Amino acid sequence: MIESLQVYGIAQNANTKLQLGLMISISKNYRARIQISFKARAHKSTLIAKSIYSALNPDTKVSSDSEATRISVHVNNLFIEIEADNIASLRAMINSYLRLINVSYKCIAS
């Protein structure tokens, strides 16, 4: 006598495994630390760094939950720390801040 066993469920093939893999979100933090040094006369380079810090600091207060930015100044160095949940956001934020610093520097220098 042959017995048959009936089992109910989902057979996992390549498509269902892929879908399950996409639904599982692993949070990874991406970070960038940037140091920009201004080279001019000692007093002038410090003023430039502080001026750019003052211009950019309010933007760091407004950020989403998935992004964080910190900015600080020490003598003639400007330090920026950026954190994001994905690499695309990190890259976009780095580009934005570098452009803002460049524009601010051009306004101050001219």
Beta strands in 1-110 (DSSP E): 30-37, 67-74, 77-84
| CATH superfamily, region 29-109 | Alpha-D-phosphohexomutase, C-terminal domain (3.30.310.50)
Going by C-alpha positions, the residue among 100, 93, 52 that lies closest to residue 73 is: 52
Structure pTM?
0.69
* Res. 94: pLDDT tops 80: yes
As a whole number, mean pLDDT of residues 66-95 equals 92
The span from the CA of 56 to the CA of 59, in Å, is 6
Give the rounded distance of the alpha carbon of 6 from its chain centre: 52
Residue 3, pLDDT > 80, answer: no
In one-letter notation, the amino acid at residue 5 is L
